[in-house]
Amino acid sequence: MNSRRLLPLILPIAIIIVWHLITDVFQLVTPYVLPSPTDVLMAASELIGSGRLLSDSIDTLFKVFGGMFFASIVAIPLGIILGWSKTLEDMASFVISILRPIPPVAWIPFSILWFGIGTVPAIFIIFMGCVFPILVYTIDGVKRTDKVLIEAAQTLGAGDFDVLSKIILPSSVPYIVSGLKVGVGIALMCTISAEMIGSSSGLGYLILTATNLFDTGTTVVGMLTIGIIGLILDYIFGKAQDRIFW
């Protein structure tokens, strides 16, 4: 096996060893402050055995992809239009510049007032978090389309629709995928925040209830599960980017 493939494992293994020494061997901290690896493994075994970890993970992923879906069907067409039309971009830039810096969690009170608690407000929060990164990347992708290709197509008689669908959209795909990759990380963070406040299911709710019960082992399992999901999704989008660029 290539030794370079083992390099990413060195630091996690070192962290686990130090973690084990601090908590299990020397007992420098109490389980309420930092659970031991053994406590985390026991909590993970219980959650997996009961099926709760799987159901909460599926629930969280449903919200993530739900929010990503609605953000994509709004941001991608809008980004193509705004990137194509300088006039429309100038008209929308002021509103986008105001709304984009607002943290998605700031919309939580309104999401609860408008949609109550549960899945819908969480999807709304994810939508608000993802729509602007996807929009900005799409606009940037349209603007970076080779002008020579556009002018050549227009010279040969191509209309605006043909230029958009056959030249600009394919050229923008790598940037759109990059926007989706950024958006999915934001989506996970938004989902967990929303689930902690306005939901009764999902990994965020699991972490919140475990923390309230001082079950730090379960809390860490929930956190690690989110990290693993993020790692998998990042890998998938990374592979998609590689295939598109190559």
Q: Model confidence at 238, in pLDDT bands (50, 70, 90)? A: confident
Mean of the per-residue pLDDT values of the chain: 90
Mean pLDDT of all residues in 154-179: 87
Domains in the chain and their CATH numbers? Answer: 36-243 (1.10.3720.10)
pLDDT tens track for 51-77: 999 999 999 999 999 999 999 999 999
CB atoms within 10 A of CB 38: 13
Q: How far lies 21's CA from each of 7, 8, 184, 219, in Å?
A: 22, 21, 35, 20
Query: Which amino acid is residue 246, in one-letter code?
Result: W
Return the DSSP state at 165: I
At 246 the pLDDT is 57
Q: Which residue has the higher pLDDT, 205 or 157?
A: 205
At 2 the pLDDT is 61
CA distance 138 to 141: 5
Q: What is the largest CA-CA distance in the chain?
A: 77
pTM strictly above 0.75:
yes
Residue 122 tokens read as 């969480």
pLDDT tens track for 73-117: 999 999 999 999 999 999 999 999 999 999 998 998 899 899 888
Do residues 191 and 122 make contact, with C-beta atoms less than 8 angstroms apart?
A: yes
List all residues 6 or more positions away from 179 whose beta carbon is below 8 Å from its beta carbon: 75, 133, 134, 135, 136, 137, 138
CB atoms within 10 A of CB 122: 33
Do residues 142 and 100 make contact, with C-beta atoms less than 8 angstroms apart?
A: no
Do residues 218 and 161 make contact, with C-beta atoms less than 8 angstroms apart?
A: no
**Model confidence at 199: pLDDT above 80:** no
Handedness of CA 91, 92, 97, 99 (dihedral sign): positive
